[in-house]
Amino acid sequence: MASKNSFDVSTGVDLQEVDNAVNQATKEILTRYDFKGTDCSIHFDRDAAFLQLEADDEYRMTQVIQILREKLSRRKVPLKNLDPKSIETGSLGRAKQTIYLKQGIDQEIAKKMVKAVKDCGFKKVQVQIQGDQLRVISPSRDDLQNVQAFLRGEDWGLELHFGNYR
């Protein structure tokens, strides 16, 4: 009987790196000349994995977002895993935005991934949804590498991580 080989597909961001990027962005906002006398801030809720951005107006909000995205990309946080909601304008023109961090593969996306792998016609490849990740099982390591290449080639709106290769 042939042994089964497998690997896991998951996604997520390093919350410590996000925290570091938020701290760097906050320092830059406090020291930049065009932000003098303004009330712009970034709050990071680590438990719920989201960022709350506030600025005086929409123009400054776009500047805050640009600074934050730059700091996140420098710290190698995948920008695909950011889920920004629309900018809300409140009283006195203040702008707020919430950015959620994707920590795990959503069930709908996981089902699409499973369907795409099965439709591709890989022989003897099984894909299982296990919570917020996928497990791909096959007797052939070559098939597993082909599935990995296929999943990397598609745009799922997430930065995929492949691990637990056995």
Domains, the chain: 5-12+105-163 (3.30.70.860), 15-101 (3.30.70.990)
Per-residue pLDDT of the chain (166 residues; tens, 9 = 90+): 457 888 899 998 999 999 999 999 999 999 999 888 889 999 999 999 999 999 999 999 999 999 999 999 999 999 999 999 998 998 788 999 999 999 989 899 999 999 998 888 888 888 889 888 999 999 988 888 999 999 998 888 888 888 887 7
Helix axes 15-31, 58-74, angle to 10 degrees: 130
Residues in contact with 89: Cβ distance below 8 Å, sequence separation at least 6, in sequence order: 58, 95
Per-residue pLDDT at 74 = 95
